[in-house]
Structure formats: structure tokens, C-alpha cells
Structure 1
Amino acid sequence: MGTNSQSTAILETEEDVPAPAQLKDDTAGSFVSVRGLKENWQKWSHEHQEYQRNNPFSNTTRPSVVVPQRGQDDYGRPLQGSMTEQRGKDAHTHISREVQELCEVIRDIGEPKEVDGKVAVKFGKLFERYVTISNKLVGVLLRARKQKLVDFEGEMLWQGKDDDVVITLLQ
């Protein structure tokens, strides 16, 4: 057995792999060397090991990057420059546009109040107009209220039940 393991160990070095040993690659129609296959596999293996070192869900290793702790500025935020951060920025831009569009629709169909002159509209009227624009009216209204752009009574608005609730444009 000692001779077999020694001969295998000797053949595992790159210098001992015969260069002319080639395999026919049917998909590309060209020849691929064993050495090239081995190098590609080792490259992939190394990249995967590096990825797993930074993977917080990996059972084998702990992440080598400093993970923000609760209370720090970066806690709960995606890594700078990541695709997740970019998707979040894109979503924020999209929602901001929808909130601005909602405010414009309220200005267009709303009527000024006698008391303070702010524009107001009933939810039922807004729903009928806005349903052709977007099916996310209540979510956009909640977002606009969080940004202190509109105000209305209650936590949630329901079609039919809350048609008479007045929505006031604050800005």
C-alpha cells in the first residue's frame, strides 16, 4: 500500500501531469487539457472557500469581516457598494416618486378647507381616481403620512368602509 500512496502523491504535482493528455470537449468542439481542468477546479474551490469565510450563515467558519453590532450606524444596513444596497436605493427612489405623484393627484382633485386652506379629499374619491394609476394607494398613503406629507384619521383605510375619511395634504 505504501507504494500506491507514494505513486499517487508523486502524480499529484503539476509537473508530473503529462501535458499531451487531452480530453475531447464535445460541447465546444475543442480539446481541453487535464491541467486546465485541474486549474479551473482549484480556482473555483479557492473562490468558494473565500466566499464561505465571509458568509455569516456558514457553519464551518466565522466571518473574517467585522460585523456591525446593534447600536452602530451600519447595523441592519447592506454592505457599501453591494447589489442589495443598490436595490434598496432604487426602491427608495421609486417609492418617493409614487408619494410625489399621490400628492399631485390630491392637489388636482382635492378642495381647499375653509379653516386653514389646506387641500383635502375624501378617501373614496381618491381611491376611484388613483386606482387607475396604482393598486398600492393605501401603502403609499401610509408612507406619505410617515413622511408628514398627508394626514388622516385611523391607522388603516379600507375601501367602502372608510370612503368618507378626509385626507389632508400638509405641504
Structure 2
Amino acid sequence: MLDIDGEVKTLVEKIKELGAPDQADHGRIKVKYGILFRETSDLFEALAGTMRAAKRKKLVTFDGELLLQGVHDNVDVVLLEAC
């Protein structure tokens, strides 16, 4: 059984660890999807699903509905201030 809340919490921690504050975006922590994917590929059964769950909870934001490795490697994943 998947623990979505646990996976979302782990995702948030990984974004904090891998990302960096962007002063142009009010200091929000950002990380490129490609980096996040490479560094977490062994942690998540389905990173795309975890990302969508985190976005629905308004913990992260990114352009589009679904991010795919390769195609979206340069898309910023932004940790929202509520985290």
C-alpha cells in the first residue's frame, strides 16, 4: 500500500535538499525536474504521481500537469511558502 502523504513529505525534503532559493521569486526554493528525477529515482515508485499529489496539496508548483524525464528536465519545481 502506498503512503502518499509520506512520499509527499519525502519529496518536499528532497526539494529542500537539492534546490536553492531564488531571490527573484521571493526566495522560494527551486530545483530543475531533471535533477530531482535523477536524485530520487530510487526513492519513489512513481515520481510523477507524487508530484501531482504535492501540487494538489499546494506544496509545490510547476508548469503543466505532468512532468516527464528528458522532455521536462529544465522545468522548475518550486516549493511554495506554505511548506
- Amino acid paired to 1:148: K
Per the alignment, residue 16 of structure 2 pairs with: 107
Question: In the TM superposition, what whole-angstrom CA distance separates every residue of 1:19-50 from its partner, at most 9, and x where no partner exists?
Answer: xxxxxxxxxxxxxxxxxxxxxxxxxxxxxxxx
The structure whose Rg is larger is 1
Per the alignment, residue 56 of structure 2 pairs with: 146
Per the alignment, residue 28 of structure 2 pairs with: 118
Question: In the TM superposition, what whole-angstrom CA distance separates every residue of 1:117-138 from its partner, at most 9, and x where no partner exists?
Answer: 0100000000000102123111
Q: TM-score, normalised by structure 1?
A: 0.45
- Amino acid paired to 1:112: P
Taking the aligned partners of 2:76 and 2:40, their CA distance within structure 1 comes to 15
Deviation at 1:167, TM superposition (A): 0.3
Gaps of 5+ in 1: 1-89
Per the alignment, residue 79 of structure 2 pairs with: 169
Structure 1 outlier segments of 4+, above 6 Å: none
More strand by share: 2
Name the % identity. Answer: 38
**How many pairs were matched up?**
80
Q: Does 1:98 align with 2:7?
A: yes
Taking the aligned partners of 1:154 and 1:108, their CA distance within structure 2 comes to 23
Q: TM-score, normalised by structure 2?
A: 0.91
Taking the aligned partners of 1:113 and 1:128, their CA distance within structure 2 comes to 21
Task: Decide which of 48, 54, 66 is 1:156's aligned counterpart.
Answer: 66
Deviation at 1:114, TM superposition (A): 1.3
Gaps of 5+ in 2: none
Deviation at 1:147, TM superposition (A): 0.2
Structure number with higher relative contact order (C-alpha < 8 Å, ≥ 6 residues apart): 2
